[in-house]
Structure 1
């Protein structure tokens, strides 16, 4: 049997072509004629292409046995066969972008009860969640990135006085508002975070600026505010964040220590996770922390891996709950690790993480989203303000567990 001889490759960028055939004894056929005198038909092909064709389409290597009398017909057929055989090589293994998008948001988890919440207050929360969801999803529908969608949704909730994030946040033991936030890009695992700021109107925007416009991941207090000013972000007086409703609620609250108040106050934290059309994930979280906190306390929200995490290889997560336990359990990263290294589906990974937080003595919840558009929102409290738009367009706004919502 005669086979195609592949020419040696040059050292430079160009490669030689070959129009010679060699029979099984190694004799070379020059000028389109074989050693027996018959005319042969050989395609001139480049070395790299010849290797691909020879391995993917054995029919091509038999072309050198064809006499010249049928060469015109086989020229067309052979060319078609060559391209058909090459097609799977160029297509298989490609993981192109998905046209599907998804967005999940939360407004905190806590000791909520459907029986105790008034209809007006419940509707106000649902409207706030729906508005934030629409803002973030509009970004995705317009082809925007997951990061942009997360920022848009959280910015909307930071401006809503119902939530414990930016305007409407709780006060420290000294009567001021101190804010924390973080954002993370699942494509690059770049992240930006801040803690203890008192004048930045939208902390999530500062987190984004830290991620994109500095060499660092986390800034604190005065340093974070100086960077915000340098970046031209909007600054406000601390009084802007303190609402009449929040002040009134704090004045009526019993003089419990911070640990006792945390269950009721901390869970206004807001967060979002998104999947864009390019298949990239992102996560963000913003909070005012716990009411009456002391000594510059920092919770899980701005800590990458504890309250916020995103990685395209697994999922995007934003947490809400008793921060000390979420830090100890490295909650957000635990969800991702259970998926990536434990080969667990998203729902199981997220639920097991919440179970582990409970085993440590804490409560709370997470929202999680993987690159296939799967959504998980487990929580161990009475309720968790949450909403989502699934890849198929399904939209939901939830506060309590499934049974209570029906």
Structure 2
């Protein structure tokens, strides 16, 4: 009964978003209420369940995402991202230009949300492709692969951070394992897949793109932008802090939390917590991309305000995903899924991936798919004793699969590279699916080791 209500609920969510073009946040809350009633929850407790879901989901995430958006916008507006891209491309030369684009996109992608990263990098990609005399899609596919992998696997991005919070996984471990999986995933779905894409959709590589969709791109003079070293350091600062905490815990305590933490343990744990790491990184970015370059405080604050406006709806959608997840848990759907697969030989990691894939295909949003899947697999994960960090990455990989017409990323890629629907399915949809499958493979291999 509970599973039937879940299927009907997902169908309702899909109908509201696709057919009636309803705002995703509003659709999530309506669906959560409808599913709660269908599951027989007392009406008086439904509002409490939804409030707990939103509050529990956004508690730490509002800090992480808010600071992350501000840091990314500071790096972008100062020309730091522009400097990173051009320096790497000049260093690698035309023969290894795809690898340069992957590295630049990966570094920039850690600091910026997926949509912002695409908007920022596409004009740079177009300019470099023209200069190197290569089709724009030859560089566009590696760029999209790198941005997508950081979006799906690496904190402090929304989906992996949100799933880590929901499943109680340590963000530093998710980051460490995520980077191990990300490297082969980006290479296979980027430079390697580009060769296959040329055979599958040769006409797509003749397209010249559509920069008008971006509005008027901001132009930079290279000598007026921050140095390469400072730009990279600022972009990677939160990753460095979380990595320090993870390495310290592995080396000093064998990966376990000490029963009686000492002074150094407390200090390292403090700076490695995602919210504090992002706060410290933001303060550094305000200096490196602002005051250090003699930019007035008022201008810096304006940049921060604009950054927050750009993620307001994303935060609400994540909160809505948390509400839906909480209703599923409180209504007993999680236990039903656990009972359904209790005697199954399917690995909980594969199951988490599969659930996320189905939700991604149905709903479009990677973040919503990941959040809903995390609520469903939590009981299974706990009963099977699965490593929470690996489950985060399995769900993250599943949430990237088969992006199609109900995903904003699909339309962004199509619009900027001026492709037909068929060409977008043969390039963008396939590269997302490759990342998803390679990601799952990496998780299963890591599960044999850790």
Query: Which protein is bigger by CA-based radius of gyration?
Result: 1
Greater share of strand = 1
TM-score, normalised to structure 1, is 0.27
Bigger relative contact order, structure 1 or 2 (CA pairs below 8 A, ≥6 apart): 2
TM-score, normalised to structure 2, is 0.25
